[in-house]
Amino acid sequence: MLGILLSELSEENVEWFYHINWGLENPILDFIMPIISTLGSLYGWIIFSLVIYLFGARLGRRTALLALFALFLSNILVLLLKYVVGEPRPFLALPNVDLLMHAEGNSFPSGHTASSFAAATVIGLKYYLESDGRLRLLIYPCMVFAFLVGLSRIYVGVHYPYDVIIGALIGVVCAPVVLKYQNRILESRVGCLLGGN
């Protein structure tokens, strides 16, 4: 019974991979998706957090530090799961993959997606812009971007849909954990040294 279920899930995973990797293919997305994928990497989010830290005053410093903690936590979980599961990348396991980027290591789960959802959730909930005399949370554009990062990882041929879904769940779980303990993080020695208070 369990074997049949796993087999069906595996077939569905591959089917959806091809729907996105081949079914959405067009020259505009071929240009845009690798850019989105690169911006959604761990390094992309670290750079974005550093920009917020440098130019965002006290709120920016606090938000950037929390985002960096969420990135750290999510990536520890991703690396652990990649090691335990050991799933090969789609372009190594499937025929006729439209590969637009190269990626190293195992496939499951998606580190880019976990990073994007972890950092985007923290930044989207903690940081805001003031316009028209009203405070506007950034959660909606941040979540749209994180979703596009996940989609891009399938589109460029380096992840299965289930890799992306689990990566998103990891990020979405890590962010509230960091936010729950934000006072401890910001008052810790690291937080104080980096100016989070």
- Looking at residue 127, its pLDDT comes to 77
Q: Mind listing the pLDDT tens digit for each residue in 164-175?
A: 999 999 999 999
Domain ranges of the chain: 58-197
Of the candidates 177, 156, 185, 164, the one whose C-alpha atom is nearest the C-alpha of residue 21 is 156
Q: What is the pLDDT of residue 47?
A: 96
Question: How many distinct helices (H) and strands (E) make up the chain?
Answer: 10, 2
Q: What are the structure tokens assigned to 32, written together?
A: 């845009």
Give 5's pLDDT tier (boundaries 50, 70, 90).
Answer: very low
Q: Angle between the 111-126 and 57-85 helix axes, to the nearest 10 degrees?
A: 160
Tens-digit pLDDT profile for residues 125-141: 887 765 555 666 788 89
Q: What is the pLDDT of residue 133?
A: 57
Peptide bond into 34 cis (omega under 30): no
Spatial neighbors of 156 by CB under 8 A, at least 6 apart, are: 33, 34, 37, 99, 100, 101
User: Which run of H or E residues covers position 151?
Assistant: helix 139-155
The rounded distance, in Å, linking the Cα atoms of 98 and 5 is 28
Q: Is the pLDDT of residue 95 over 60?
A: yes
Confidence of residue 8 (pLDDT cuts 50, 70, 90): low
For residue 1, pLDDT over 90 is answered with no
Structure confidence at residue 60 (pLDDT): 87
pTM for the predicted model, two decimal places:
0.89
From 182, 152, 174, 177, select the one nearest 164 (Cα to Cα): 152
Whether residue 3 has pLDDT greater than 60: no
pLDDT, residue 59, reads: 86
Residue 54 reports pLDDT greater than 70 = yes
Q: What percent of the chain has pLDDT over 70?
A: 86
